[in-house]
Chain A
Amino acid sequence: MTVARNNKFILFTLVLLFPILCGMHLFAGEITVSFSDFWNSVLNYNDENTSQTIIREFRIPRLTMGILAGGGLSIAGLFMQTMFNNPLAGPYILGINSGSSLFVAFSVMTGIPFLTSNLGTISSALIGAFIFGLIILSFSYLVKSHISLLLIGIMLGSFTSAIVSILQTMSEPNQLKLFTMWTMGSLQQVEYTELPMIILFFIVGIGLSLFMIKPLNALVIGESQALTLGIHVKYVRLALISITAILTGIITAYCGPIAFVGLAVPNIVKMIFKTQSHLTLLIGCFLIGSFFMLTCDIIIQVLESTIHIPINALTSIIGAPFVIVIVLKRLA
């Protein structure tokens, strides 16, 4: 499958708009900063200049996490939807986030220094996402209906949140605060110096995704047909779960659980591009996912002086009604 001409045009337009939206996001906050502050904060940083500090310590990490979280979760959602042939699948609804939450809760609340460190939290989130991905994958072999798999995912979510609340009652006030803040979701938890590692993880995840395009295209017509087309479906599924775990895990570790992006964006992308070519869908998901996330975060920044909205709340407010629309349109 190739990228159709008008889809190339849409992608091109999105790429052109991308830096504009990034700029709007960078300069949307309450404190006004200039463009030269931005360059200086990156190229010759002076930590006595407040504007530069704001950009380097707050704005750039927040922008980067917005792009990666939106793009990454959308790609993870696309993978889940194609893999399970289910337009309502996504990392959040299938409980893959909750795997991360559970493991992060455990590691934060143990109080063991390594586990409460950043690297410890990321590792826990990745492992949790991967294990819960495997759980959902094994359930997918047992249940036939699409809805059943979603229900199992939601139950995994309820189950883990119950365990997490029990953990919370047993924990120290400090840890409790740390974890509660985390569950509300935020793009603001990352430090500038951590960005290279996070970006590296993403490059690996998205680089591996490129090799999934061909199997994903074949999986569109079902697992048994993909097999007769020479696709090693078992390995492909494991690879897809691993990439999803990397993308979802790292976002969940730093931003907390973010709902509905992974579910809603791939559906929007398919409606816009009207194709099943996963090369187009992959690029589309990254771009539109980032757009969605940055737009949400700009809204949050603009309203920040009046009301503080956690990112997870805003994505749910927009995403949940959208999911109902999809259900009415496609599954009713």
Chain B
Amino acid sequence: MIELNGIEIGYKKRLFSIEDIQLSKGKVYSLIGSNGAGKTTFLKTLQGNITPLNGQILINKTEVQLFDRLKLSQTISFVNSKFDGVDYLRVYDYVGLGRTPYTNALGRLSEKDQKIVENALTELNIKHLSCYFTTKLSDGERQLAAIARAISQETDIIILDEPTAFLDYANRKLVMREMKKIASELQKCIIISSHDLDLCLESETDILVINKELKTLQHFISNTLSKEKLIEIGF
């Protein structure tokens, strides 16, 4: 799915390099690293917004720099750490925005688009919220809506930037559980940046950690890393 070959990540100055890593479909990867280690820069590089200083990123065998904006939006979707909601924007219409890369010039949802939106809402168990305004939801519900929007975008890759940062314990668990379910059911490659070590380890995701001393990104398969070791490497 994603191949990282001899990458050096950085924006103006070099932040870290990456041993050759392949990220595959059907898996959730937790990206961990201290503040300023370069998590955000890494995610932006993956999305093609920042060019790596060295090496190449291949998505489905094509270099990400060669993707145009439309192709990118059909390949990678992105969920922010927080969506505050927008006045008068209903959940259904918000999730429907995920179809933007596929709709015609007027942005009208076809029957097929509507089906996809409804499936995304069902997938996250928020179909009953369809007609609610996004401003009237709880933080947890809003984050689920944001994820549903990413799913309706039908991309192979979903990137989430600290999606659980503003959620309570129950909602954090819920989001991680949903992401694991989506990854395996819909065969997506999901990358989640997080500061919540316990949550990532409990959820049994693969771990990508930015090694503070070696300045490299290391990949650990789920359940092969203890919390102590993780702290030692990353912080």
Contact = CB atoms under 8 A, between A and B. Distances in A.
B contacts with A: majority SS: loop
A225 B77 CA distance: 9
Interface string B87-98: 111100110111
A306 interface: no
A229 B99 CA distance: 8
Most chain A CB inside 10 Å of its own CB: which residue of B89, B90, B107: B107
Nearest to B94: A221
A81 B106 CA distance: 20
A214 B153 contact: no
Contacts of A277: 93
Contact of A229 (B47, B90, B97): B97
Contact of B86 (A220, A230, A279): A220
Chain B residues touching A, range? 20 to 34
Interface in A205-247: 210-211, 213-214, 217-218, 220-221, 224-225, 227-232
Interface stretch (A28-36, A91-99, A268-276, A295-303): A268-276
Contacts of B170: none
B108 interface: yes
Given A220-B89, A221-B89, A275-B90, A214 B103 contact: yes
Given A1-B107, A2-B109, A230 B70 contact: yes
Given A214-B100, A276-B86, A228 B78 contact: yes
A218 B93 contact: no
Interface residues of A, number: 27
B32 interface: no
B105 interface: yes
B93 A1 contact: yes
Contact of A228 (B77, B106, B133): B77
Interface in B56-101: 69-70, 72-74, 76-78, 80, 83, 86-90, 93-94, 96-98, 100-101
Given A228-B72, A230-B70, A270-B87, 5 more contacts: A1-B96, A218-B100, A221-B89, A225-B80, A274-B88
